[in-house]
Amino acid sequence: MTNPAIKHYLQFNDLNADEYRHLFARAALIKKKFKAYEKHHPLVDRTLAMIFEKASTRTRVSFEAGMYQLGGSVVHLTTGDSQLGRAEPIEDSAKVISRMVDLVMIRTYEQTKIERFATHSRVPVINGLTNEFHPCQILADLFTYLEHRGTDTLGQPDPARLAGKVVAWVGDGNNMANTWLQAAELLGFTVHLSTPSGYEVDPAVAGLRSSGSYKIFKDPRDACAGADLVTTDVWTSMGYEAENEARMRAFANWCVNADMMRAAKPEALFMHCLPAHRGEEVSAEVIDGPQSVVWDEAENRMHVQKALMEYLLLGRVA
């Protein structure tokens, strides 16, 4: 049994709407201080272990830079350079690593693996991407949306402004899609899903409580109609490379292009978690165009994760 006194972030619905309100406010403050070169060192002498079983650029840099900026330090492990790649049981690794550090971030394959690690960990565990979920990315994406389209009268990101919004998901029913769906259920917006046949979201895998927060569209352009945000992801996620050729054929009509963006609201934003493949899941015109906020999304990974690490270790600081 996972120790209920330890707060993990293994999927988006591990936190509630009120906790997200707190995190968005803290992320805004932490970002402001970062931009002003003001020190923010709540995690002095704390250590984050980062375990990567899959490749990464943004997750590695954002967690590592973020932890140093909070006054802490990091240990970086990969499958290849640790005993994880030599079949040491995940439970044993969790027991050992969590005796030496204060926080663990893991990027791995099956969600069950990170759950097993968390069950045996003495410290909070953060999901840095699994086959099923990518909660830190959606945390950054929602913060980015609110910065652009959902601030209150004081200029603060206000998650209440997400209510009633429409997010169009064009592409694979993957870890990003699952996490968008959990966020929609929790924060009161709707996801318009369009995936090729055979690549649909499985609501049970996504851990949804109802079917009330999403609608399914055969044609991706119909999914984009009237959307506030259009988003997509690679056609072949890490771990699915053997399916690449079949996926290239199946996804050919699921490239977010200018025509799809025209179907969305005029003020709609475009997002992509990156890395992107121009000419596959998105046209260069869209990702490099005026509605795209992909660079803000990437930068905001660091600011929201700093707020998340602070919260998991220290709770609600003022």
Report the interface residues with ligand NVA, using CB under 6 A: 129, 174-176, 233-234, 237-238, 273
* Residues 4-33 contacting ligand CP, CB under 6 A: none
CB-closest chain residue to ligand NVA: 237
Rounded to an integer, what distance in angstroms lies between the CA atom of residue 25 and that of residue 306? 12
Least CB distance to ligand CP at residue 305 (A): 11
CA dist 85 to 22, 211, 237, 279, Å? 38, 39, 21, 35
- β-strands 166-170, 190-194 pairing: parallel
Tell me how far, at minimum, the Cβ of 266 lies from ligand NVA, in Å.
29
Q: How far is the CB of 214 from ligand CP (least distance, A)?
A: 22
Binding residue for ligand CP, selected from 27, 125, 256, 273, defined by CB under 6 A: 273
Residue 274 as a binder of ligand CP (CB under 6 A): the answer is yes
Of 246, 257, 165, which Cα lies nearest the Cα of 220?
257
Opening angle at CA 59, ends 57 and 60, nearest 5: 65
- Mutual angle of helices 294-314 and 135-149, in 10-degree steps: 120
> Can you give the length of the chain in residues?
318
**Which 41-70 residues touch ligand CP, going by CB under 6 A?**
56-59
CB of 186 or CB of 271, closer to ligand CP: 271
Is the Cα torsion angle 207, 209, 215, 216 positive or negative in sign? positive
The reply to whether 295 sits near ligand CP by the rule CB under 6 A is no
What is the total count of residues that contact ligand CP (CB under 6 A)? 8
Residues acting as catalytic residues: 107, 134, 137, 233, 273, 301
Query: Which residue lies nearer to ligand NVA by CB, 40 or 76?
Result: 76
Q: How far is the CB of 79 from ligand NVA (least distance, A)?
A: 16
Minimum gap (Å) between residue 177 Cβ and ligand CP:
14
- Could you write out the DSSP letters of every residue in 88-99? --HHHHHHHHHH
Q: Which residues contact 93 (CB under 8 A, 6 or more apart)?
A: 82, 83, 84, 117
Does position 137 interact with ligand CP (CB under 6 A)? The reply is yes
Q: What does the binding site for ligand CP look like in residue numbers (CB under 6 A)?
A: 56-59, 129, 137, 273-274
